[in-house]
Structure 1
Amino acid sequence: MPLLSLLLPAMWLVTDERTDALLDAALARLPRGSGIIFRHYHLPPAERSARLEHIRVLARRFGHLLVLAGTERDARRAGVDGTYGAPARLMHRAFNQHHKFRSCRAKDNSYVTRLTPDSDDATLHLPSPPGRGRGRGSVAAGSASRPAGYTPLPTSPLKGGGAGDAVKRHRAPGRRAGLLRLATAHSPQEMSAALRAGADAILLSPVFATRSHPGAAVLGAVRWRLLAARSPVPVIALGGVDPHRARTCGLTRWAAIDGLS
């Protein structure tokens, strides 16, 4: 696993219209070295840019890593640490020069993503969704025994600067300016798509029921951990997670919208 992934924050705050009034105070309360995902889709472009710049200044002040929901071009112009979005939106040309993926269906109807032999994990074999195949599948050597979020993460102040500085000091091969790529996923298929897109980490959701999507199907803590344990990149839990649930369910990396505000 690239060192860039080892430096990912353990705790992430996802911005949203519902919590915007509390955002400044929330950034001040977060542990130094936390992650911020700036969305604010509700704002017009000019207002969104101004709000992003304000949050960027606060993130630097408190040593947080700031990721923008948008393109890599937008992220570079804004001076943030990375991009966030669905796999299809992530630019992956540079990544694929160093890591080649091949995805297919296994006999048990699960999804397999194979990496080149020089990778630490040779195969990502994700269990099929309920009702699709009965095989138990297999995982790469060295990854099956890892619990969800197996990489130790810094939760105390980082030496020599904040989380963004640490990430930029450890750039992935072929990655200009060291931008971090966070991909969203809701299923094994989307996780494989995120890997093919060159994601450094995956936000897998929803773990639990959320106020924004009442009645929607959820993964549950057990299935989330099974999927996360089989990923060669860090997986961040999203959806109905708060500090109490993160502790009781053993979610090493997690993100929240209103659970941290």
Structure 2
Amino acid sequence: MRQPSTGRSPLAPALPDLWLLSDARNDELLPRALRALPPGSAFVFRHYHLDPRSRRARFDELVPLIADGGHLAILSGSDDEAKAWGAAGSYGPPEAVGDAPDLLRIAAAHDAHEIAHANAAGADAVMLSPVFATRTHPNVQPLGAERFHALAALAEMPVIALGGMTPERARELGWTRWAAIDGLALKQDS
């Protein structure tokens, strides 16, 4: 069993408030969405639908847009993969949080058990979901505002709200650090 990290990344205090996640349904909209993000936002590249070679090629296509916006590039994958791809951090389940002090380590969590794992692993942030109903997980009961806040209080690191999030929902939730797939990629014209 891997020992917990001795500390969080020195990059952690500069975590952005706004996070765009990629997936198959927002792929063609990503260039426009990355250009529309406020400077210094974060982009989590997932693209699980692609084979490894195509996934790397798509990431490389997006890197200039990420850099132009001054965004953080976070790769869903291992710390080693994130370093090899030139990403600023890694994203994945709490049990996969590595101990690379030069990378941001973002853990995905859905309940108190996973938040406890993220705490023990020394994750730099936890992405807690689904806050509201979402197309990504249509058959999963959303946390809702009350449960989200209760779970967020258990985290020993910054919490990023995910799941059905839009600017309006973030205000409703009273949470400034949030992430979205559709809420940032599909609604840019509204």
TM-score, normalised by the number of residues in structure 1: 0.65
What RMSD, in angstroms, separates the aligned Cα atoms of the two structures? 1.5
Runs of 4+ in 1 over 6 A off after TM superposition: none
Where does residue 186 of structure 1 map in the other structure?
A: 110
> Deviations along 1:189-215, whole A, 9 cap, x unmatched?
100011122210000111011112223
Query: Could you list the runs of 5+ residues in structure 1 that have no partner in the other structure?
Result: 95-174
Residues in 1 aligned to 2:130 and 2:173: alpha-carbon distance in whole angstroms: 14
How many residue pairs match? The answer is: 178
Q: 1:257 aligns with which of 175, 178, 181?
A: 181
**Contact 2:115–2:154, Cα closer than 8 Å, also in 1:** no
1:237 has 2:161 as partner? yes
Question: Counterpart of 2:183 in 1: which secondary structure?
Answer: coil
| Corresponding position: 1:202 with 2:126 | yes
Alignment of 1:8-47 (within 5 A): 8-47=15-54
What amino acid is the match of 2:145? A
> Does 2:85 align with 1:60?
no
For residues 90 and 62 of structure 2, what CA distance do their matches in structure 1 show?
15
Alpha-carbon contact 1:19-1:258 (below 8 Å) kept = yes
Q: Counterparts of 1:213 and 1:231 in 2: how far apart (Å)?
A: 23
Whether the 8 Å contact between 1:70 and 1:85 is mirrored in structure 2 is: yes
Is this contact kept in 1: 2:11–2:103, CA < 8 A? no
Map Cα deviations across residues 47-99 of structure 1 (whole Å, 9 max, x no partner).
Answer: 1111111222211111000100011111111111000000122223x6xxxxx
CA deviation vs aligned residue, 1:94-147 (integer Å, no higher than 9, x gap): 6xxxxxxxxxxxxxxxxxxxxxxxxxxxxxxxxxxxxxxxxxxxxxxxxxxxxx
Equivalent of 1:217, from 129, 136, 141? 141
SS of 1:259's equivalent in the other structure is helix
Does residue 82 of structure 2 align to residue 75 of structure 1? yes
Rg bigger for which structure? 1
What residue number does 1:86 align with? 93
For structure 2, which runs of at least 5 residues remain unmatched after alignment?
1-6, 186-190
**1:206 partner letter:** P
* Cα distance between partner residues in 2 of 1:190 and 1:230: 10
- Mapped to 2, the partners of 1:25 and 1:61 lie a distance apart of 12
Q: How far 1:230 moved relative to its partner?
A: 3.4
Is the contact made by 1:56 and 1:80 (CA closer than 8 Å) also made in structure 2? Answer: no
Contact 2:107 2:126 in 1 (8 A): yes
